[in-house]
């Protein structure tokens, strides 16, 4: 096969999406099929797939190997790490995250879900909705993935039976009341055979919706990062060192939310000092405005004591500031999380120490209900936790702003990332109302 890359304009809209689902539901095969049928596989990739088939003696190309790049993944036929792939059509550019299905790699799936606009949730038509299906749907909802497409895969193995498809649709529709998706869609597919992936299937004339790729090309997702006021976590203070005696002082970082413009009034948190933006710079270019996702340097009208970890925010729509926080934690370490445990955290550009004050409850994946306060959270458990930080954090609630509403927990001894936390709200009296500044 000679793959032909489409000539894609630079302005074509970008969609980030991920696959989720249980082991052997066909996530990697689906991505391979998307790439193959959309002619997005390069010649050297195709040659490598053919050689892999010859070495294993399989006799035919395994499309899953396009994303399963680790040797252990190919040997075991499973996905272990998150694999990212890029492809494009004349209508849209795509970044795909292929995530593992095994329970012990749920933490990898959490990492991918924190940055995507849409999730493809795969369900094996023979097995229906299982625990891992519910777990991944809940995590996507928890991490505020706005839209989800349920791909009911392996329809060829159930004879393309409409009733098998409808039974799964009915069960997931019943469960959807527990989730917070803006939209949920269903597509019956066979990733291996290519049914309803890029081209409409001839075997399922009872399905009247579009094939998967057609849906991906037109689906609209909300731009969550551009909502609300501007947020710039300061990463670096720039003071040019030259003989000219320049008095320029700039504050560099990646805008986490909203937008900024010269002349706008801003507040520096947690100090609460007010000033205005004198200018916005990107390399040698001076900008009229800058928005979420852009890495820029802000110059301010007043000299204020600002350091790494502080946040420059728009004076309207201010975030919260607090030390005591109620957070939802996805625990990612084999050593359990217990009350009294001391950890480090990284929130935007700020590092801080914290202590676990209380385990409030734990999610029961089977019932999708919260169980009473547990003694500990184990690997891949999800629960609500109350923590106290040594220094104040400047944050938004996670549903309002993903970039400033979450942080990672780090073991102080090993420096391993042990958990991902989503801020629900400040707890108790520690909330300092930033609206008073």
Same domain, 325 and 376: yes
Position 354 pLDDT exceeds 90? yes
Same domain, 137 and 199: yes
What pLDDT digit, counting tens, does each position of 286-303 carry?
Answer: 999 999 989 999 999 999
pTM: 0.81
The pLDDT, as a whole number, for residue 400 is: 86
The pLDDT, as a whole number, for residue 63 is: 64
For the segment 349-371, the average pLDDT, to the nearest whole number, is: 90
The pLDDT, as a whole number, for residue 276 is: 97
The pLDDT, as a whole number, for residue 375 is: 92
Structural domain span for residue 246: 226-314
Per-residue confidence band for 77, with pLDDT thresholds at 50, 70 and 90: very low
In a domain, 3, yes or no: no
CATH of the domain at 270: 2.40.30.10
Partners of 326 in the beta sheet?
386, 425
Residue 329 near residue 385 (C-beta atoms within 8 A): yes
Q: How many H-runs (helices) and E-runs (strands) does the chain carry?
A: 7, 23
Residue 376 near residue 336 (C-beta atoms within 8 A): yes
In a domain, 1, yes or no: no
In a domain, 297, yes or no: yes
Which of 173, 207, 222 lies at the terminal end of a domain, its last residue?
Answer: 222
The pLDDT, as a whole number, for residue 431 is: 43
**DSSP reduced 3-state for 137:** helix
Pairing mode, if any, of strands 273-282 and 14-21? unpaired
Least confident of 214-223, 257-266, 305-314, 333-342: 214-223
Which of 173, 206, 222 lies at the terminal end of a domain, its last residue?
Answer: 222
For the segment 424-436, the average pLDDT, to the nearest whole number, is: 50
Pairing mode, if any, of strands 406-410 and 342-347? antiparallel
Per-residue confidence band for 76, with pLDDT thresholds at 50, 70 and 90: very low
Same domain, 238 and 191: no
How much of the chain, in percent, has pLDDT values that exceed 90?
Answer: 54
From the list 178, 182, 184, the residue with the least C-alpha distance to 370 is 178
Residue 143 near residue 180 (C-beta atoms within 8 A): no
The C-alpha atoms of residue 88 and residue 67 are separated, in whole angstroms, by 16
DSSP E strands: which ranges in 89-180? 93-98, 118-124, 147-153
Least confident of 123-127, 228-232, 260-264: 228-232
How much of the chain, in percent, has pLDDT values that exceed 70?
Answer: 81
The pLDDT, as a whole number, for residue 129 is: 92
The C-alpha atoms of residue 432 and residue 320 are separated, in whole angstroms, by 7
Per-residue confidence band for 80, with pLDDT thresholds at 50, 70 and 90: very low
Same domain, 260 and 327: no
Element (H, E) at 122: strand 118-124
In a domain, 7, yes or no: no
Residue 53 near residue 61 (C-beta atoms within 8 A): yes
Least confident of 57-66, 71-80, 185-194, 241-250: 71-80
What pLDDT digit, counting tens, does each position of 158-192 carry?
Answer: 999 999 999 999 999 988 777 878 889 999 999 98
The pLDDT, as a whole number, for residue 55 is: 42
Same domain, 393 and 350: yes
More confident residue, 74 or 306: 306
Same domain, 413 and 354: yes
Position 200 pLDDT exceeds 90? yes
The pLDDT, as a whole number, for residue 284 is: 86
In a domain, 80, yes or no: yes
Same domain, 120 and 148: yes
Instruction: Provide the mean pLDDT of the chain.
Output: 84
Same domain, 216 and 238: no
Please state the φ and ψ torsions of residue 429, each to the nearest 5 degrees.
Answer: -95, 0
CA triple 382-383-389, angle to 5 deg: 115
CATH of the domain at 112: 3.40.50.300
Least confident of 9-13, 349-353, 398-402: 9-13
For the segment 193-219, the average pLDDT, to the nearest whole number, is: 94
Pairing mode, if any, of strands 250-254 and 295-300? antiparallel
For the segment 40-51, the average pLDDT, to the nearest whole number, is: 59
Residue 376 near residue 331 (C-beta atoms within 8 A): no
The pLDDT, as a whole number, for residue 62 is: 58
Q: How many residues does the chain have?
A: 437
Position 51 pLDDT exceeds 70? no
In a domain, 332, yes or no: yes
In a domain, 264, yes or no: yes
Same domain, 172 and 271: no
Same domain, 353 and 262: no
Residue 149 near residue 34 (C-beta atoms within 8 A): no
The pLDDT, as a whole number, for residue 211 is: 96
Provide the CB-side half-sphere exposure for 306 (13 A, CA).
Answer: 32
Same domain, 213 and 240: no
CA 82 from centroid of its chain's CA atoms: 12
Which of 293, 314, 335 lies at the terminal end of a domain, its last residue?
Answer: 314
What pLDDT digit, counting tens, does each position of 369-428 carry?
Answer: 888 888 999 988 899 999 999 999 999 999 888 889 999 999 999 999 999 999 987 654
Torsion angle, CA of 5/6/12/15, rounded to 10 degrees? -50
In a domain, 284, yes or no: yes
Same domain, 144 and 277: no
Q: Provide the domain count of the chain.
A: 3
The C-alpha atoms of residue 79 and residue 100 are separated, in whole angstroms, by 5
């Amino acid at each position: 096969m000679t793959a032909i890359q489409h000539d894609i304009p630079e302005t074509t809209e970008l969609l980030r999406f991920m696959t989720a689902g249980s082991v052997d539901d066909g996530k990697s095969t689906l991505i391979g099929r998307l790439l193959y049928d959309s002619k997005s596989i390069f010649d050297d990739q195709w040659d490598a797939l053919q050689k892999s088939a010859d070495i294993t003696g399989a006799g035919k190309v395994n499309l899953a190997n396009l994303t399963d790049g680790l040797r252990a993944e190919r040997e075991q036929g499973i996905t272990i790490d998150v694999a990212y792939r890029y492809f494009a059509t004349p209508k849209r550019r795509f970044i795909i995250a292929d995530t593992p299905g095994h329970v012990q790699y749920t933490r990898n799936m959490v990492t991918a879900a924190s940055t995507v606009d849409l999730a493809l949730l795969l369900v094996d038509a023979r097995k229906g909705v299982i625990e891992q299906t519910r777990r991944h749907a809940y995590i996507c909802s928890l991490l505020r993935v706005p839209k989800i497409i349920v791909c009911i895969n392996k329809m060829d193995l159930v004879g393309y039976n409409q009733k098998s498809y409808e039974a799964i649709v009915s069960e997931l529709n019943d469960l959807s009341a527990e989730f917070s998706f803006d939209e949920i869609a269903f597509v019956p597919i066979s990733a291996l055979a290519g049914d309803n992936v890029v081209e409409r299937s001839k075997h399922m004339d009872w399905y009247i919706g579009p094939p998967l790729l057609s849906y991906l090309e037109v689906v609209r997702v909300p731009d969550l990062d551009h909502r609300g006021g501007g947020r710039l976590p300061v990463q670096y203070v720039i003071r040019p060192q030259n003989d000219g005696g320049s008095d320029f002082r700039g504050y560099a970082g990646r805008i986490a939310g909203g937008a900024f413009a010269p002349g706008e009034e801003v507040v520096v948190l947690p100090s609460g000092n007010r000033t205005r933006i004198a200018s916005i710079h990107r390399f040698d270019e001076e900008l009229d405005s800058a928005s979420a996702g852009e890495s820029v340097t802000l110059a301010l009208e007043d000299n204020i004591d600002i350091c790494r970890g502080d946040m420059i925010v728009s004076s309207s729509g201010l975030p919260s500031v607090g030390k005591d926080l109620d957070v939802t934690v996805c625990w990612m370490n084999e050593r359990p999380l217990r009350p009294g445990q001391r950890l480090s955290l990284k929130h935007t550009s700020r590092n801080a120490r914290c202590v676990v004050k209380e385990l409030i409850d734990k999610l029961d994946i089977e019932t999708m209900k919260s169980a009473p306060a547990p003694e500990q959270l184990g690997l891949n458990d999800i629960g609500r936790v109350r923590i106290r930080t040594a220094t104040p954090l400047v944050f938004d609630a996670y549903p309002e702003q993903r970039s400033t509403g979450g942080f990672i927990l780090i073991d102080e001894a090993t420096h391993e990332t042990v958990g991902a936390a989503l801020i629900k709200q400040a707890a108790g009296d520690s909330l300092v109302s930033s609206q008073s500044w």
